[in-house]
Every structure is written in structure tokens, then in C-alpha cells.
């Protein structure tokens, strides 16, 4: 088998895995209902969260990342009574608009979940965090937040992803 054939096979397998992941998430989401489903129901469908964020009302939010292979990150809020009160896919323009200059890294992570890629630029004293997302119906995009040496947002924005390489 030549290299080109292997590469084409790997790309096809990767595309199928992405489609499968997206389809699985859609099914999992359909099986959950706000104010009815419990944290145990959420964990049974989504597994262990990447991170758990405390909420001021005594509840907490479970972070489920689909980066770098996927194009979604989910924040699922469990209220103080143990029921799911919100399920949000946070990689979308109305969430990106909330990322403002001066915002600390932890607040961005709390809003958008774990990035797909982190790139430090030592000479510029900046670090880029990138998230993959889809601009419907199918435009592949990257949202980037650039942080200064103080760990605060300097700038942010989206651009179309032109290829799937590094």
C-alpha cells in the first residue's frame, strides 16, 4: 500500500469518526431533558466531564469537550436539586462575542471550554488559544483568543479554516 492510499484511508477514517461523534452527541442530547434528567443521566450518556465548574447557586456545570477532533464543546449545568437545568453547545458566535479584551484566561476557559490548540509566541509574549467550530451549514472555522503575558485577552476573532493540517 502506498503512502497516498494510506493517507486517503486515514482521512476517510477521521471523517467517519467525526460524523460518528457528532451523531452520537445528537442522540445523547435527545435523551436528556431539562429539569427532568439527573446528573447520573448526563454522566451515563456523556461520561466523565473534562472539568466541573461550581455555580453560585450551589449547582455546578460539567464541561464536555469535543476538541480538537470535533467542533463543539458542551457545558451542562446541574442545579442544586441534582437536575440538569441547561445544556449548551458553547462554540458559537454569541459566546465568542463575550470574549473581550482584558478578560482573564480562566474566564475564557469557563465560557468556551478547553481549546483545541494552544500556541505560545515567546518573542511577542503572546499565547493563542484556538477552538474549532462550524459556521452553519458547513463552513469550518477557528476562533482564536490571544493572551498577553498577564494572561488576559489582547484580541480575539474567527477565520475560516482552509485545511485540516497542523
Identify whether residues 12 and 80 lie together within a single domain: yes
- The per-residue pLDDT for 28 is 84
Identify whether residues 71 and 107 lie together within a single domain: no
Identify whether residues 58 and 101 lie together within a single domain: no
Task: List, in sequence order, every residue forming a beta bridge with 60; answer none if it has no partner.
Answer: 54, 78
- The per-residue pLDDT for 162 is 81
- The per-residue pLDDT for 15 is 38
Distance CA 64, CA 43 (A): 10
The CATH number given to whatever domain includes residue 151 is: 3.30.1450.10
Of the residues 74, 89, 104, which one is the last residue of a structural domain? 89
Residue 166 lies in a domain: no
Identify whether residues 53 and 99 lie together within a single domain: no
Q: DSSP string of 87-141?
A: EEE--SHHHHTT--TT-BHHHHHHHH-S-SEEEEETTTTEEEEEEEEEETTTEEE
Identify whether residues 36 and 58 lie together within a single domain: yes
Containing domain of residue 54, as a range? Answer: 3-89
Q: Which of 36, 78, 72, 73 is nearest to 53 (CA)?
A: 78
Count of domains in the chain?
2
Identify whether residues 50 and 19 lie together within a single domain: yes
The model's pTM is: 0.82
Per-residue tens of pLDDT for the chain, all 166 residues: 544 444 434 433 343 344 444 557 788 889 999 999 999 999 999 999 999 999 999 999 999 999 999 999 999 999 999 999 999 999 999 999 999 999 999 999 999 999 999 999 999 999 999 999 999 888 999 999 999 999 999 999 999 988 665 5
Amino acid at each position: 500500500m502506498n503512502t497516498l492510499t494510506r493517507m486517503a484511508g486515514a482521512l476517510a477514517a477521521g471523517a467517519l469518526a467525526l460524523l460518528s461523534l457528532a451523531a452520537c452527541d445528537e442522540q445523547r442530547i435527545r435523551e436528556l431533558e431539562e429539569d427532568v434528567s439527573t446528573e447520573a443521566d448526563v454522566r451515563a450518556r456523556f461520561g466523565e466531564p473534562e472539568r466541573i465548574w461550581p455555580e453560585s447557586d450551589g449547582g455546578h456545570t460539567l464541561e464536555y469537550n469535543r476538541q480538537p477532533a470535533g467542533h463543539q464543546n458542551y457545558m451542562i449545568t446541574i442545579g442544586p436539586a441534582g437536575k440538569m437545568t441547561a445544556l449548551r453547545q458553547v462554540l458559537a458566535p454569541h459566546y465568542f462575542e463575550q470574549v473581550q479584551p482584558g478578560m482573564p484566561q480562566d474566564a475564557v476557559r469557563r465560557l468556551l471550554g478547553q481549546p483545541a490548540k494552544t500556541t505560545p509566541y515567546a518573542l511577542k509574549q503572546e499565547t493563542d488559544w484556538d477552538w474549532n467550530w462550524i459556521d452553519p451549514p458547513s463552513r469550518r472555522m477557528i476562533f482564536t483568543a490571544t493572551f498577553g503575558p498577564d494572561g488576559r485577552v489582547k484580541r480575539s476573532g474567527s477565520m475560516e479554516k482552509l485545511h485540516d493540517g497542523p
